[in-house]
A and B are shown apart, each in its own frame.
Chain A
Amino acid sequence: MSEQLFDLVVRSLWISGTALLLALTWSLPLSLLLGLKKFRGRKILISAFNSLLGIPTVALGLTLYLLFSHAGPLGFLGILYTPVAIIIGQALLITPIIVSLLTSAIESVDPNLKDLAKTLGASERQASLAILGEAKKGGILAGVAAFNRAISELGIALMVGGNLAGATRVMSTEIARGVTTGEMALSIQLTIILLLIVFGLTVLVNLAGKD
């Protein structure tokens, strides 16, 4: 693997990996709340996250561009065309995926297990964690689906990252650039690597989670 290729793969992995970790910090408590607590407006919130599953990356990319640009309300942060902008964008993009899938996984656990945990001496919090433990398979799949979506997306990386060589250029943006400039060999190589990452990770997690 050439140094340029290696550099692109590593940058893509760390940007999307960081985006996943960032998204988990708010998606995990949000999913627990939606999956375990009954409150007014809960169903509307779940529907909202479900409808955001298919949000076009260009729409999110453009919104973030307007926010982060020098004239925008968050322009003072100076993060446009930096990896930080891509991380934030990808984290927002994958939040509905994590929340929807994890909430659904938590809801699919037999609610009577909470009673079981209590009869065995668990507190309310420990009983909730026991339910989360039962939903771990769905949770891991949510994480993998989210990571795959992040590393494969193009719109956000291009619009708020700017595709700057050695700084914000990632696999997806380089594939697109290669096609427009006629550098097909590199684009094909990167596409194969991207597919291997996406499929490999999914297969690996499925095999590890098999009973």
Chain B
Amino acid sequence: MNVIMELKKVTREYEGKSALCGINLKIKHGEVFSLIGPNGAGKTTLLRIMAFLDKPTNGKIIYKGKEAWGPNLTKYRKKVTMVFQRPLFFNSTVFDNIAYGLKLRGYSSEEIEQKVDNVLRLVKMEDFQERSIKKISGGEQQRVAMARAIALNPELLLLDEPTANLDPANTKLIEKIIKKISKITTVVVATHNLFQAKRLSDRIGCLLSGRLIDVGNTRDIFSRPRDERTKKFVRGEFF
């Protein structure tokens, strides 16, 4: 399997404190990779670096064999999309929010209308186009955020706690969408929900205090983890 993104000795410091330390990670093309770990482990920080929002303090990010941080950064940003844990929106309609990224990519009005229609159908919100984003529920907003990311056909989709604070029905629907989209794109999910990671992932990485302590396929991480701390975490014994 080809590697779509590689992180080499990535560190990230905030005001002198280390948030990520020496991360080496390869994301393979077409896989669903879950980042698990307790709150504050550095999952969001790592995703922001993978989304090219924050520059690593040290280390390299290789995207399809080429170093990403450089004059072509905007080009790479168009290939990777991130959905935030607390979905962010422009103060406008559902349609405008989904159309924003498509407009940046130079699609025609007809193409934009078609794509918005398709993704809203995928998230079962086809009648929501003209609704104000502020006037829909949290679960619906999360689905719009997913639809907006999917509409851009990203090569790599980064999801930060995509079902945090959602009810079981919305959680089930979001997971169904992730499974569907994972057939055509590479997905990295940050979650502290171990069952979700087990349900969705091909491979899992366990992050603890800014260090990637274990990486393996889903079955191995849950049945015979290499690191003792991973074993404790997946058994729910980690405090």
A contacts, CB < 8 Å to B:
110, 112-113, 115-123, 126, 130, 133-134, 211
Q: How far, in Å, is A199 (CB) from chain B's closest CB?
A: 27
Q: Shortest 7 CB-CB distances between A and B: which pairs? A: A120-B101, A121-B78, A116-B88, A119-B82, A121-B104, A123-B74, A115-B53
A119 contacts across to B, CB distance below 8 A: 51, 53, 77, 80-82
Are B152 and A112 interface neighbours, CB within 8 A? no
Is residue B238 contacting chain A, with contact meaning CB distance below 8 A?
Answer: no
Contact A121 B77 (CB under 8 A): yes
> Could you tell me if B88 and A112 are in contact, using CB atoms closer than 8 angstroms?
yes
Closest to A211 in B: B132
Known pairs A118-B52, A119-B51, A121-B81 / 10 extra A-B pairs, C-beta < 8 Å: A113-B88, A116-B84, A116-B88, A119-B53, A119-B82, A120-B101, A120-B152, A122-B74, A122-B104, A133-B90
B90 touching A130, Cβ below 8 Å: yes
Does B132 contact A120, Cβ atoms closer than 8 Å? no
Count B-side interface residues using an 8 Å CB cutoff.
23
Q: Please, which residues of chain A bring their CB within 8 A of the CB of B53?
A: 115, 118-119
Contacting A117 at CB < 8 Å: which of B100, B105, B134?
A: B100
Q: Which residues of A contact B52 (CB under 8 A)?
A: 118
B203 contacts the other chain (Cβ, under 8 Å)? no
CB < 8 Å A-B pair total: 49
B223 an interface residue at 8 Å Cβ cutoff?
no
CB of B60 within 8 Å of the partner chain: no
* In the bound complex, CA of A117 to CA of B82 (Å): 11
A119–B91 Cα gap in the complex (Å)? 17
Chain B residues closer than 8 Å to A134, beta-carbon distance? 90-91
What residues on A are CB-neighbors of B82 within 8 Å?
119
Contact partner, A120, options B91, B104, B134, Cβ 8 Å: B104
Q: Which residues of A contact B84 (CB under 8 A)?
A: 112, 115-116
Cross-interface CB contact of B77 among A112, A113, A118, A133, cutoff 8 Å: A118
Closest to B132 in A: A211
In whole angstroms, what is the CA distance A33 to B216 when docked? 47
Q: How far, in angstroms, from A134 to B90 measured CA to CA in the complex? A: 7
Which residue of chain A lies nearest to B78 when distances are taken between CB atoms in the complex?
A: A121
- Known contacts: A112-B88, A126-B104, A133-B90. The answer to whether A121 contacts B132 by CB under 8 A is no
B61–chain A nearest beta-carbon distance, Å = 15
In the complex, what distance in Å separates the CA atom of A119 from the CA atom of B104? Answer: 11
Determine whether B115 belongs to the interface, using a CB cutoff of 8 Å to chain A. no
Q: In the bound complex, what is the Cα–Cα distance between A123 and B77 (angstroms)?
A: 9
* Of the residues A113, A121, A211, contact of B101 by C-beta under 8 Å: A121
What distance in Å separates the Cβ of B29 from its nearest Cβ neighbour in chain A? Answer: 20
B42-78 CB mask vs A (1 if < 8 Å, else 0) is 0000001001110000000000000000000010011
Whether B148 is near chain A, meaning CB under 8 Å from some CB there, is yes
Residues of B within 8 A of A130 (CB): 90, 100
Residues of B within 8 A of A115 (CB): 48, 53, 84, 88
- Tell me how far the C-beta of A84 lies from the nearest C-beta in chain B, rounded to whole angstroms: 40
- Given contact pairs A119-B51, A120-B101, A121-B105, A113 touches B90 in the complex (Cβ within 8 A): yes
What is the CB-to-nearest-CB distance from B138 to chain A, in angstroms, rounded to a whole number?
Answer: 16
Most chain A CB atoms below 10 A, which of B53, B89, B90: B90
Q: Report the minimum CB–CB distance from A121 to chain B (whole Å).
A: 4
Residues from chain A with a CB closer than 8 A to the CB of B90 are 113, 116, 130, 133-134
0 or 1 for each of B79-108: is its CB under 8 Å from A? (1 = yes): 011101000111100000000110011000
Q: How far is the CA of A113 from the CA of B133 in the complex (A)?
A: 14
**Min distance, Cβ B189 to any Cβ of chain A, angstroms:** 16
CB neighbours (8 Å) of A112 from chain B are 84, 88
Q: Which residues of A contact B81 (CB under 8 A)?
A: 119-121
For B104, the chain A residues whose CB sits under 8 A away are 120-122, 126
Q: Which residues of A contact B74 (CB under 8 A)?
A: 121-123
Closest to A121 in B: B78
